Amino acid sequence: MRPAATAEELRFHVLGPLEVLRNGVPLPLGGIKQRTVLGYLLLHPNRVTATSQLISALWDGPSPASARKMVQNAVWRLRKLLHLHEEHAELEGMSLQSRPPGYLLRVDPQAVDLYRFHELVAEGRARMRDGGVAEASRLWRQALALWRGPLLADLAEAGVAWPELKVSADTRLDVLEEYFDAELALGRHSAVLPELLTLRRSEPRRERLTGQLMLSLHRSGRQSDALDVYRAHRAELADQLGLDPSRELQELHQAILTHDTALHYTPLPGTLQVRPAPRQPSAAADAASPAPDAVESAGLVPERKEVSVALINAVCPAVPGGGDPEHVDMAMEALHEVVVAEASRFDGVVAAKLGCCWLVVFGARRSHDNDAMRAVLMVLAVRHRIRARNAHPLRLRAAVDTGEALVRYGRDGAGPPTVTSAALDRPQSLLPLVPLDEVWVSEGTRGQTDNLIGYQRARVHAAMWTVQGVRCATVRGPRLPLLGRADCVRALTDLLDTDAVERRVALVVGGPGMGKSAVLEEFERQTAGRDPATRPLLAHLLPCTVDDSALRVLATELSSCCGIGSWDPPGTARAKLWAMVERAAANADEARRLFERLLVPLGQVTHQEQAAGPEEVVAAWCTLLERLAAERTVVVVIDDLHAADESVLGLVGPLLGQEGPARLKVVAAARPELFLRRPAWESAVNVTAELTRLPDTVVAELTRTVLEAGGGRDRPPGPVAELVEVVTALADGNPMFAAELTRMALRRVSPDTAAADAAPDERPEAAHDMLPSAVGRALAAQLDALPTDLKAVAQDAAVLGEAVRPEDVAALRDQRQSDAGDVADALGELVRRGVLMAAPADAGTTGSFTFRQPLLREVAYARLPQAQRAVKHAAVARWEGRSRAPGGSLRPVASELLRLGSVVQRLRDAARTAAGPEPRAGLTEGTPLFPAGAGR
């Protein structure tokens, strides 16, 4: 007979769906009656629960005649399942005993998460009474992290409505409010604001929560939003309950109205404040003619940019020597080398190091269209390398955020840039919330990276996301037809029909959004459709290794190659792998080495026995592919080769030199930057499919396809045709630009967005909002690829409008003693680089230029700080002998963007007309004039 289970063996989870774990493994709890009995007993442990109480808990109304027998059966099954037999009641472990008038569940409270929650809450309140605000906040955060959903969520979903469920929900909200108070006292208003906004929508009548939200908004510089929250709360109380807000909330409202300094955050005594450098005071108070040195000081150039910020914190939980400072310093120095190396690898800048924290900024020195992705990959790479090192038992946590920033950098590129942004503050305030070994990102960062990175909602902080790792397959948007690229795909498939050693590497080369990945997908689709007898073996390599994702990709393809099914037992899987390796390897030693390493992705090696990391396993896979190429054609597919690790580039290099088997081929996609890393490859690559701008007719067809997929068939034909025309002009042959612009227009026309933007708005600022963020990032990267001085000329040209004359740019730049001859040369260089082109003959002036891509001009102008814009506009006004018209806009906006905004407004108006008039507020059809029983 088995002895009673000990407290260490069983864990009961009721904060969420009911769950019982034995040694960490969930137990099957059976049907709803059995689960309900256990759930009720866990809410009343260590005291007798009458059978009549259990019957009332099981049946809301009249119970069946066999109710007592059904309860007895449920208890008997629970004893058998959990080994809580009554004969072991005298032992110190848990037991489920029969005690008149019912049953007694003996359990250690520490084994039930509900009681651990109450214990942490009480401990936090004690710390708060002693003045330990930070410690109280930490304890409450741990307590709240135990909740996986509503109390006994599975039973509640089945109709259980015990009073205990409501009481526990209210208790959790009380603790949340105490936690928010502590966070606000610690100055973390930015960190809790997103969760406060979300929580108040579900709990609008909790006045303490409303006050916390108002204070958080006020401290975040959003006074008008704070006042709006109060007005909405007051109106709801008056309409539904006939009450006024509490006196405390009214006093808070008055304090916000009068900008009472008592509401400002004051650091607690002994609190260390690490904040980004404050902005230098601007001397551009006189917007008409500010001094030039107010904009650029100390040789630094200011610019508005989107940046991504990663804040990494390291902890040494078990450093040899008991935490000796020298040992800690050694571990931190080793980590510092890793952070610097990985930041450089992903083109980030280590902006600051303070103790065990590193601040890494991406997009400050040079923007890329994927800076948010680079930031997340860098953090994962650092964590991966630290985990691979057993010498220093470091554990990391990190927070990543993305946002608008004011960046200052030297014209010569010397020294690190300085960055001022709320995106610097948010990771700092969030980092204490992040559990060890986790990486959190903001909603903005997740939106730019979730095609490649897997996420789940962070516990405790519902507005943040926890990184799960790199996805095995990139998640792409709705599939579009591959138009205008048939020749490129044909060039790739022709590579499969020859065994010549001089035709083994094919590259698809193009800029962002030109459709490189779509060409690879179509190539794979056509290859998979070939006759099985001649179909090549397709293998994929991730361009860079930052975690174990490469092993997951490899496991799928290795299993397919060896014929290993998910149903195969471990012995069979090992035998199939060995048969493949033994047949293909060059010798017995190589076969043993490959076999040992390739067992890792198949899960045949425990973590403790694993001697090879992902890099060694991928190298073994590449060796096996080389050997298999002696039997059949093997095609290795690599996307984003320009960003690949040196080890991946090392696979391609020998094939260009006609080394290795003739039937081993590489088909890859890359941007032109690849040839900056490998200049010799530009002429050595066997097949280069260069993706140039698509013809306007193809772009128009693509735009119509996206429109039809989004419901464009139901729109008026006139505005739709004009929308296709405008998008085609703005896309400039880039299929991604066309698709993003069209989808953005469809979102603006949708009923949900139309309700938010009810009034027409054709201001220049509103037209600028028509620029999709993905398009803006790609154009910002194109602008930052220019040399600093050449980019400055392009930004001056953006200020002048659609027609740019050399003498106008020269006059504008004379404000900084620039040479007029250099301006003409710079404009010519911008034409050569495809940024500018000669203006059409009907532009009104001869010898003038215009931006080839109107959207690039919008981005170039938006990057200028407001003070710098004022300086430049004042110079233009003086040069042309005019001044700004009252109420006019200084901002030059592309006519195509204005036209796009006009078309979208017309489509929106047509959608409203088709939907019919909105019902008037107040009485609706079927509403009685008087309540039932009125006047009796």
At 589-635, the pLDDT tens digits run 989 988 988 888 887 654 444 556 777 888 888 888 888 888 888 89
Distance, CA of 29 to CA of 54 (rounded, Å) = 17
Report the percentage of the chain scoring pLDDT > 90. 11
> What is the H or E stretch that residue 748 is in?
helix 735-749
Residue 893 CB-density burial (10 A; 0-12 exposed, 13-18 middle, 19+ buried): buried
The three-state secondary structure class of 539 is strand
Average pLDDT of the segment spanning 84-109: 69
Residue 867: strand pairing partners: none
- In this structure, what are the phi and psi dihedrals at residue 569, rounded to the nearest 5 degrees? -70, 160
pLDDT greater than 60 at residue 922? no
Distance, CA of 835 to CA of 853 (rounded, Å) = 7
Which of the four pLDDT bands, split at 50, 70 and 90, describes residue 819?
low
Distance, CA of 83 to CA of 91 (rounded, Å) = 13
Alpha carbon distances (Å) from 185 to 230, 257, 265, 269: 21, 21, 7, 11
Alpha carbon distances (Å) from 166 to 16, 71, 114, 173, 195: 13, 24, 14, 11, 21
Distance, CA of 835 to CA of 293 (rounded, Å) = 29
Torsion of CA 624, 628, 633, 634, to 10 degrees: -10
pLDDT at 892: 61
Highest mean pLDDT among 179-193, 405-419, 544-558: 179-193
Query: Which tens digit of pLDDT belongs to each residue from 441-472?
Result: 999 999 999 888 999 988 777 778 999 888 87
- Residue corresponding to tokens 């307590």: 143
- In this structure, what are the phi and psi dihedrals at residue 534, rounded to the nearest 5 degrees? -115, 5
pLDDT at 378: 94
pLDDT at 814: 62
Average pLDDT of the segment spanning 533-538: 86
Alpha carbon distances (Å) from 220 to 195, 278, 464, 709: 14, 15, 18, 41
Alpha carbon distances (Å) from 471 to 309, 377, 466, 475, 645: 22, 12, 14, 8, 18
* Best CA proximity match to 87, nearest among 23, 2, 7: 2
Torsion of CA 105, 106, 112, 114, to 10 degrees: 60
**pTM of the entire predicted model:** 0.68
Amino acid at 161: A
Q: What's the first-to-final CA gap in the chain, in angstroms?
A: 73
Query: Which tens digit of pLDDT belongs to each residue from 180-205?
Result: 988 888 888 878 888 888 888 888 88
Report the percentage of the chain scoring pLDDT > 70. 82
Which of the four pLDDT bands, split at 50, 70 and 90, describes residue 880?
low
Distance, CA of 842 to CA of 384 (rounded, Å) = 59
pLDDT at 881: 61
Bond from prior residue into 481 cis (ω within 30 degrees of 0)? no
Distance, CA of 464 to CA of 445 (rounded, Å) = 10
pLDDT greater than 90 at residue 553? no
- Residue corresponding to tokens 């090192």: 389
pLDDT greater than 80 at residue 757? no
| CB 849, CB 819: distance < 8 Å | no
The pairing of beta strand 664-670 with beta strand 687-690: unpaired
Average pLDDT of the segment spanning 4-33: 76
Average pLDDT of the segment spanning 417-428: 81
pLDDT at 165: 84
Which of the four pLDDT bands, split at 50, 70 and 90, describes residue 885?
very low
| CB 195, CB 160: distance < 8 Å | no
- Mean pLDDT rounded to a whole number for the chain: 79
Residue 400: strand pairing partners: 310, 441
Residue 301: strand pairing partners: 409
Strand ranges for 737-839 from DSSP E: 836-838
